[in-house]
């Protein structure tokens, strides 16, 4: 039993000062298993191992609770560039296949060529497609594509008896099958023997297929670090939720107006701007609201994802519209505007952007789930500070 003054142990008051919390919060940490207390020899009160306190301090303990620092090997955003496991996402979008990039994110290995990818990574089974399509048909006729995706994910998860197998091989197989099935089940013709972008194209438009554009978009949107939907997915995975539940958690957060709906807002703004760019810009500035599709919280001077997609559109008139607006603003086009430009260029259905974003991000959520399954479970429980009435 240690005694007060032992340099390997701290008193309650010392711990509270070190962690910048109240003494009562120190005991709350004990009740949650974040700290271990021992009785002090010859006096009342508890002592705490100094090493445990330092470990907890490293996890940024604040009045609002314990903020877990999430370490990830997946995505780096640095100097206005985006990297997947050390590979430039810009380069991958034009030189690699979606199957290769998904394999890179899920396994850490980038196959040297498409032939090195597991055959039919996004393959489907007829029964699964029929089940997903039946589920999608339950929603009202005016429902968005993302609404159909959410319902289908839940149904496909309920139908998978092996969904609780969280081994890496099982999770990646389920992810590829799920994404492929969702694309095939969306309203529209089913096409085969092409890339995932090629299979998705006729679901979104009747225009002449350019699958390389959608494949590039799916690659560029696959992951973007710890965006809010990705954090939601990781929290679910931390509780050892199965992949379908993880995807559902991500889709729930993605449905917010400040996240997954951004491509639609950019699409609507661009719809006004293509007729009169200056008037659309003037009206938007007068509203006092940000210009949809311009600027970014992380990127300072350019969004590399937008650069790739706008380049793929070449000299299409919609690109000229964007340049006309960009020349009169201090910001730059982001990926939401680039997706909106693709939608206008090829006459996509108005809700296509949100669905494209969701399907692409499922690849990233799967990668984050795999990382989380390998980490200690339930590590995101924060400390709530009660502010209500007391008796």
| Range 214-225 average pLDDT | 97
User: How much is the pLDDT for 118?
Assistant: 54
pLDDT of 262 over the 50 cut: yes
Whether 223 and 282 map to the same domain: the answer is no
User: How much is the pLDDT for 320?
Assistant: 94
pLDDT of 120 over the 90 cut: no
Could you tell me the pLDDT band of residue 348, with boundaries at 50, 70 and 90? Answer: very high
- Average pLDDT of the chain? 89
User: In whole angstroms, what is the distance from residue 240 CA to residue 237 CA?
Assistant: 5
Q: Is residue 388 one of the residues assigned to a domain?
A: no
User: How much is the pLDDT for 63?
Assistant: 36
User: How much is the pLDDT for 382?
Assistant: 72
User: In whole angstroms, what is the distance from residue 146 CA to residue 353 CA?
Assistant: 10
pLDDT of 301 over the 90 cut: yes
Nearest-5° Cα angle at 183, 247 to 101 = 70
User: In whole angstroms, what is the distance from residue 273 CA to residue 177 CA?
Assistant: 39
Q: What is the pLDDT of residues 351-365, one digit of tens each?
A: 999 999 999 999 999
Whether 334 and 216 map to the same domain: the answer is no
Whether 249 and 267 map to the same domain: the answer is no
User: In whole angstroms, what is the distance from residue 154 CA to residue 159 CA?
Assistant: 9
| pTM given for the model | 0.82
Q: Is residue 3 one of the residues assigned to a domain?
A: no
* CATH number assigned to the domain comprising residue 55: 1.10.1660.10
Whether 327 and 271 map to the same domain: the answer is yes
The percent of residues above 90 in pLDDT, for the chain, comes to 65
Whether 138 and 240 map to the same domain: the answer is yes
Among 29-38, 54-63, 298-307, the least confident range:
54-63
* CATH number assigned to the domain comprising residue 167: 1.10.580.10
Q: Is residue 291 one of the residues assigned to a domain?
A: yes
Could you tell me the pLDDT band of residue 391, with boundaries at 50, 70 and 90? Answer: confident
Whether 118 and 229 map to the same domain: the answer is yes
* CATH number assigned to the domain comprising residue 302: 1.10.230.10
User: How much is the pLDDT for 25?
Assistant: 81
Could you tell me the pLDDT band of residue 366, with boundaries at 50, 70 and 90? Answer: very high
Closest CA to 61 of 386, 371, 385: 385
Q: Is residue 390 one of the residues assigned to a domain?
A: no
More confident residue, 113 or 177: 177
Q: What is the pLDDT of residues 18-44, one digit of tens each?
A: 887 788 888 878 877 788 888 776 666
More confident residue, 254 or 117: 254
Report whether 251 contacts 152 (CB < 8 A).
Answer: no
Whether 278 and 161 map to the same domain: the answer is no
* Alpha carbon distances (Å) from 139 to 149, 188, 256, 358: 10, 16, 19, 18
User: How much is the pLDDT for 222?
Assistant: 98
pLDDT of 170 over the 90 cut: yes
| Range 109-131 average pLDDT | 82
What is the count of structural domains for the chain?
A: 3
Could you tell me the pLDDT band of residue 272, with boundaries at 50, 70 and 90? Answer: very high
Among 59-68, 161-170, 276-285, the least confident range:
59-68
Could you tell me the pLDDT band of residue 67, with boundaries at 50, 70 and 90? Answer: very low
Q: Is residue 300 one of the residues assigned to a domain?
A: yes
User: How much is the pLDDT for 3?
Assistant: 52
User: How much is the pLDDT for 126?
Assistant: 93
User: How much is the pLDDT for 30?
Assistant: 82
Whether 84 and 20 map to the same domain: the answer is no
pLDDT of 115 over the 80 cut: no
User: How much is the pLDDT for 68?
Assistant: 56
**Which domain does 17 fall in, by range?**
9-66
Q: Is residue 391 one of the residues assigned to a domain?
A: no
User: How much is the pLDDT for 388?
Assistant: 82
């Amino acid at each position: 039993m240690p005694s007060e003054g032992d340099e390997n142990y701290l008193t309650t008051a010392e711990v509270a000062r070190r962690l910048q919390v109240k003494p009562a919060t120190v005991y709350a940490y004990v009740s949650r298993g974040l700290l271990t207390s021992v009785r002090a020899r010859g006096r009342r009160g508890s002592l705490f191992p100094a090493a445990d306190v330092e470990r907890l301090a490293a996890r940024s303990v604040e009045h609002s609770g314990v903020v877990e620092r999430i370490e990830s090997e997946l995505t780096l955003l640095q100097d206005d560039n985006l990297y997947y496991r050390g590979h430039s996402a810009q380069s991958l979008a034009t030189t690699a296949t979606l199957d290769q990039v998904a394999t890179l994110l899920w396994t850490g290995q980038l196959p040297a060529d498409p032939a090195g990818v597991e055959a039919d990574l996004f393959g489907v089974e007829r029964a699964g497609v029929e089940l997903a399509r039946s589920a999608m048909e339950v929603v009202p006729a005016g429902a968005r594509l993302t609404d159909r995706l959410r319902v289908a994910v839940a149904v496909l998860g309920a139908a998978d008896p092996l969904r609780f197998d969280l081994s890496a091989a099982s999770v990646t197989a389920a992810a590829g099958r799920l994404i492929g099935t969702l694309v095939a089940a969306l309203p529209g013709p089913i096409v085969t023997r092409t890339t995932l972008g090629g299979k998705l194209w006729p679901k979104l438009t009747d225009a002449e297929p350019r699958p390389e554009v959608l494949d590039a978009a799916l690659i560029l949107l696959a992951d973007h670090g710890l965006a809010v939907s990705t954090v939601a997915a990781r929290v679910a995975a931390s509780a050892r939720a199965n992949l379908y539940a993880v995807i559902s958690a991500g889709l729930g957060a993605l449905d917010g107006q400040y996240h997954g709906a951004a491509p639609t807002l950019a699409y609507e703004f661009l719809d006004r701007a293509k007729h009169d760019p200056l008037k659309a810009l003037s009206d938007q500035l007068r509203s006092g609201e940000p210009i949809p599709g311009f600027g970014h919280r992380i990127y300072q001077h350019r969004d590399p994802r937008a650069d790739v997609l706008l380049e793929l559109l070449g000299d299409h008139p919609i690109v000229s519209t964007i340049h006309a607006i960009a020349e009169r603003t201090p910001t730059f086009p982001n990926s939401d505007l680039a997706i909106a430009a693709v939608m206008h260029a090829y006459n996509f259905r108005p809700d296509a952007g949100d669905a494209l974003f969701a399907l692409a991000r499922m690849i990233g959520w799967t990668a984050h789930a795999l990382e989380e399954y390998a980490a200690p479970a339930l590590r995101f429980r924060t400390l709530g500070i009660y502010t209500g009435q007391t008796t």
